[in-house]
Amino acid sequence: MSEQTTTTITLDRFTRGILCALTVLLTIIAIELWVGRPDGVPTARAQIPDTALQRREIVEETRRTNVLLGQILEHLKTKPVQVTIKADERKPATRPGPRVGK
């Protein structure tokens, strides 16, 4: 049979301190992972649209638009409006051109 040999490893004070620090840090990380996520990391949550709120907002905006249109209509009914029609300055005046072939 083979003989077993025992090897003794001695560590200096610095190496022993580094190993202790690593052991403590790894223990902290293991506990945080076991307990749950760290507090500094927010969770992603999907947002479900609130269709009732969207409809209320649309109805409210429609009411405001109707009030403004009512005010414009009242202004047009009660106050004189002067309209001047001018030729469109963006388009040149069209002149009838020569007729080509019949």
Domain boundaries, the chain: 13-38+53-77
Whole-number pLDDT of residue 17 = 93
Q: Which residues contact 84 (CB under 8 A, 6 or more apart)?
A: none
d(CA 66, CA 58): 12
**Residue 91 above 70 pLDDT?**
no
pLDDT in tens, 39-65: 666 666 777 888 999 999 999 999 999
d(CA 32, CA 68): 59
d(CA 72, CA 64): 13
Task: Provide the whole-model pTM.
Answer: 0.37
- Amino acid of residue 16: R
Q: What angle do CA 20, 21, 25 make, to 5 degrees?
A: 120
Q: What is the DSSP letter of 79?
A: S
